Chains A and B, each alone.
Chain A
Amino acid sequence: MKKSIVLYMHVHQPFRIRHYTIFDAGNDHRYFDSHYDDRTNNERIIHKVAEKSYIPTNRMLLSLLQRHPEFKISLSITGTLLEQLAAWSPATLRSFQELTATGRVEIVGETYYHSLAFFYSQTEFESQVNAHRELVQKLFNQTPTAFRNTELAYNNDLAYWADNAGYKAILAEGWDPVLGWRSPNYVYQPAHTSNIKLLMKNYKLSDDIAFRFSDQNWVEWPLTADKFTHWLNESGDATNFNLFMDYETFGEHQWGETGIFSFLEHLPNEWLKGDDHTFMTVSEAADAHEARDVVDTPYTTTWADTERDLSAWLGNPMQHQSIIALYELQSSVMQSDDVNLIHDWRNLQTSDHFYYMCTKWFNDGDIHAYFSPYETPYEAFMNFINSYHDMKFRLAEKGFTV
């Protein structure tokens, strides 16, 4: 059996909430529309990211797919991003469709709204997964057979659900306390499941690309495809190297100037020099390999921060209050039968809103700050909670007691 690289990239943009005040609540229901020049303007961000990342990366990926018949990748693309691309950058959407048209790009299933609904409402979670599946079928003409939850938030319950839902594979962080002595470079079976396989991110190798690539203080800088392939060759017994990362690594988190595109361009060539080397999509890897062992994950892991838990989204009382308040509206929102109201409510579920409220390390001005369009986590909270108040106003207008 050939050794494979399983390159999986997650593509997402939220609908960011504009500066939305308590005086807007009840008067203006457009939470996600700011002036084009504002930091929170979603259209402007789509244009910027498309130019820096999506367009050049897709061009590169398409050319690699054409050059190397063995090259394959997996992508998960959220509904919130696909909507924005359809509205503001249709050329980018077409370039993703060109990738999937090659037949060697697998689209992984997830929640349409990039939400944490799994932890708050099973029915809402399933509606969002179904909505995402339908959109993928419509745009990419394929039905997801692998599943990833938002932020790779994973536990036994999720695996059990995905198994029953018929997925072949599910993705999780290859977190040491869960793996123990085991290597992430194999396929596993989640505890208490029958058929589904578990693919766990090799975070060391993935983060070499996603985080450390441009770090000039890193001893391995500069990282070349040659060097990286050499590490894979040296890592001994393995069946699959799970390189999972944000798609925006290419051109956005790591700017073009760092040489990240050149790295991507040369990786397939270097890797495929080995006779027993290939690329697989996540579902192919699940089909190709027997599970080496059963992995038990009773508590939730994610791919974020040093804690690998949900604390970046739910770690402080502001985050907690916000998400609980939002899900409390579920039954009234659904009963309202108002498409716009439901859509807004779901867009407010996007995990990014809670991430922006994170106060861990706010004092150090770290990675959280880089990804936030707000100056402080408190500002993020205020915009969110005022939007929530407006949701309540709209529900009250329709006669619901909230």
Chain B
Amino acid sequence: MLGWELPPYNSGGLGVACYQLCKALAKNNVDIEFILPYKADHNIDFMRINSAQPKGVKDIIASGIAYDSYKYVKTDGTIEWVDIYGQQAAYEHAVARIAKNVEFDVIHAHDWLTFRAGIRAKQQSGKPLILHVHSVERDRAGGNSGNPLVREIEYMSMLLADKVIAVSNHTKKAIVADYGIPDDKIDVVHNSMDLEDFEHLSGDTSHTYIEAMKKQGYRVVVNVGRITIQKGLTNLLYAARKVIDKSPKTLFLLVGSGDQERELIELAAQLGISRNVIFTGFQRGKRWRDSYAIGDLFVMPSVSEPFGLTPLEAAGYGTPSLISKQSGVSEVLKNCLKIDYWDVDEMANQITAVVSNDSLRDELHRNVYKEYIKLSWTDAADKLVNTYKKHTGAVRV
């Protein structure tokens, strides 16, 4: 299994999805060797974790979010900061080295950063390669075509792979449209949530100020995620302006960091809603959980969201969601509000409805929670085990 991150060293949903998927696969008696591009203790016992270190490198220390540079500590004591392309190339060489020494039946690689390594391992071993697509470049580029180098890697890898797994129909369509990969080469395996890993709220909320404002009659709209063009937060702020005109006692809480953060802070000021929009920066742990819980509505207005776990997490913490129809999770979740990401008026209309009607909020949550408690990765793991068997020639169960 080739992956780029695992919790708690994850920058977002990819690491969580890999972790929970592997756990469900392990329950299905799949023996997993998980190869990461950095070295850290993850406290995981259901699979072996290996770090792909190039020759002459003693330690790779992840820093910040996935797209930041990593610190390579070499055996001679010198330090080098390596950017994402460098890391990718280093990972590829290291995986090729590991593949020579480890026995395995199938290569399962998650997202483009590991795809070249996957191809190398396939070339070397002749074992089947399954590419798991959590997002394509177009998603990450917010609907623009994105980085041509990345597109090239995605295109070539999917062409060479034995099977492609997409996390949603939305993503499958994007793969077919962008790369011309045949429809029947791509299976959809929806992400899910592992409720065993649910971390309960504890103690008083860390949002003391917001809690106090709620007692004054304020209602809170939350977004948790990277602040980047893909997430459609510009439209959320335009909608926020309209919501605040109708319901002045509405706060917007944006939890996360990213390349668009400063731009959005400025936009909020330009729109004259700075006093209603709160940027918290990147959070994890208790503050992250409390952010979901303090909300009356969670909004995921993504321009393109291959899956999008956050509305499920929000449901677990007691908050219903408004999500864009351009998301994979909208294919599985029924009891939430859905809008087109570009439809700012409708976004504002629906947010206003929730913040001004507690009965709508409560009924949405009561019903989405029923969906939430049924979530499990079991179906996804079963589908993948069958895919493995098909491609390794083993007898199917």
Contact B349 A359, beta carbon cutoff 8 Å: no
Q: Is A120 an interface residue (CB 8 A)?
A: no
Contact A23 B242, beta carbon cutoff 8 Å: yes
Are A381 and B360 CB-contacts (below 8 A) given A362-B335, A363-B371?
yes
Contact A21 B349, beta carbon cutoff 8 Å: yes
Contact B367 A385, beta carbon cutoff 8 Å: no
Query: Which candidate, B48-56, B110-118, B351-359, is the interface stretch facing chain A?
Result: B351-359
Chain B residues near A103 (CB-CB < 8 A): none
Q: Is B246 an interface residue (CB 8 A)?
A: yes
- How would residues 204 to 228 of chain A score, 1 for a CB under 8 Å from any chain B CB and 0 otherwise? 0000000000000000000000000
Chain A residues near B359 (CB-CB < 8 A): 316-318, 320-321, 381
- Quick one: closest A residue to B357, CB to CB? A385
- Quick one: closest B residue to A389, CB to CB? B356
Contact A363 B334, beta carbon cutoff 8 Å: yes
> Min CB distance, B340 to chain A, in Å?
13
- Prevailing SS type, chain B contact patch: helix
Summed over the interface, the residue pairs from A and B with CB atoms below 8 Å come to a total of: 62
Q: Is B211 an interface residue (CB 8 A)?
A: no
Contact B367 A382, beta carbon cutoff 8 Å: no
Q: Is A299 an interface residue (CB 8 A)?
A: no
Q: Is B286 an interface residue (CB 8 A)?
A: no
Q: Is A22 an interface residue (CB 8 A)?
A: yes
- Most chain B C-beta atoms within 10 Å of own C-beta, residue among A318, A320, A363, A378: A378
Q: Is A202 an interface residue (CB 8 A)?
A: no
Which residues of chain A (5-31) have a CB below 8 Å from chain B? 21-23
> Min CB distance, A374 to chain B, in Å?
12
Q: Is A386 an interface residue (CB 8 A)?
A: yes
Contact B362 A22, beta carbon cutoff 8 Å: no
Chain A residues near B367 (CB-CB < 8 A): 359, 362-363
How far, in whole Å, are A376 and B350 apart by their CA atoms in the complex? 13
- Prevailing SS type, chain A contact patch: helix
Q: Is B189 an interface residue (CB 8 A)?
A: no
Residue from the list A22, A317, A362, A376 in contact with B353, Cβ < 8 A: A22
- Quick one: closest A residue to B242, CB to CB? A23
Q: Is B337 an interface residue (CB 8 A)?
A: yes
Contact A385 B242, beta carbon cutoff 8 Å: no
Residue from the list B334, B345, B348 in contact with A362, Cβ < 8 A: B334
How far, in whole Å, are A21 and B363 apart by their CA atoms in the complex? 20
Are A22 and B352 CB-contacts (below 8 A) given A363-B371, A378-B337, A385-B357?
yes
Are A378 and B364 CB-contacts (below 8 A) given A21-B345, A23-B348?
yes
Chain B residues near A385 (CB-CB < 8 A): 353, 357, 360
Residue from the list B349, B362, B370 in contact with A382, Cβ < 8 A: B349
- Quick one: closest B residue to A382, CB to CB? B353
Contact A318 B349, beta carbon cutoff 8 Å: no
Q: Is B379 an interface residue (CB 8 A)?
A: no
How far, in whole Å, are A119 and B353 apart by their CA atoms in the complex? 27
Contact B349 A22, beta carbon cutoff 8 Å: yes
How far, in whole Å, are A145 and B66 apart by their CA atoms in the complex? 77
How far, in whole Å, are A318 and B364 apart by their CA atoms in the complex? 10
How far, in whole Å, are A381 and B362 apart by their CA atoms in the complex? 13
Chain A residues near B371 (CB-CB < 8 A): 363
> Min CB distance, B354 to chain A, in Å?
9
Q: Is B263 an interface residue (CB 8 A)?
A: no
How far, in whole Å, are A359 and B359 apart by their CA atoms in the complex? 13
Chain A residues near B352 (CB-CB < 8 A): 22
> Min CB distance, A324 to chain B, in Å?
10
Which residues of chain A (349-402) have a CB below 8 Å from chain B? 359, 362-363, 375-379, 381-382, 385-386
Residue from the list B246, B337, B346, B363 in contact with A318, Cβ < 8 A: B363
Contact A318 B353, beta carbon cutoff 8 Å: no
Are A382 and B360 CB-contacts (below 8 A) given A362-B335, A363-B335, A363-B367?
yes
Chain B residues near A320 (CB-CB < 8 A): 359
- How would residues 118 to 156 of chain B score, 1 for a CB under 8 Å from any chain A CB and 0 otherwise? 000000000000000000000000000000000000000
Chain A residues near B350 (CB-CB < 8 A): 382
How far, in whole Å, are A318 and B360 apart by their CA atoms in the complex? 6
How far, in whole Å, are A54 and B363 apart by their CA atoms in the complex? 37
- How would residues 316 to 350 of chain B score, 1 for a CB under 8 Å from any chain A CB and 0 otherwise? 00000000000000000011011000000110111
Contact A21 B357, beta carbon cutoff 8 Å: no
Chain B residues near A359 (CB-CB < 8 A): 335, 363, 366-367
- Quick one: closest A residue to B353, CB to CB? A382
Contact A318 B357, beta carbon cutoff 8 Å: yes
How far, in whole Å, are A164 and B85 apart by their CA atoms in the complex? 86
Chain A residues near B338 (CB-CB < 8 A): 375
Contact B360 A363, beta carbon cutoff 8 Å: no
Chain B residues near A381 (CB-CB < 8 A): 353, 357, 359-360, 363
Chain B residues near A375 (CB-CB < 8 A): 338
9 contacts between A and B (CB under 8 A): A317-B363, A321-B359, A362-B334, A363-B334, A376-B335, A378-B337, A382-B349, A385-B353, A385-B360
Chain A contact residues, CB within 8 Å of chain B: 21-23, 316-318, 320-321, 359, 362-363, 375-379, 381-382, 385-386
Given A21-B346, A320-B359, A376-B337, 15 further pairs, Cβ under 8 A: A22-B349, A23-B242, A23-B345, A23-B348, A318-B357, A318-B363, A362-B335, A363-B367, A376-B334, A377-B363, A378-B360, A381-B353, A381-B359, A381-B363, A385-B357
Chain B contact residues, CB within 8 Å of chain A: 242, 246, 334-335, 337-338, 345-346, 348-350, 352-353, 357, 359-360, 362-364, 366-367, 370-371
The 4 closest A-B pairs by CB, nearest first: A21-B349, A317-B359, A321-B359, A382-B353
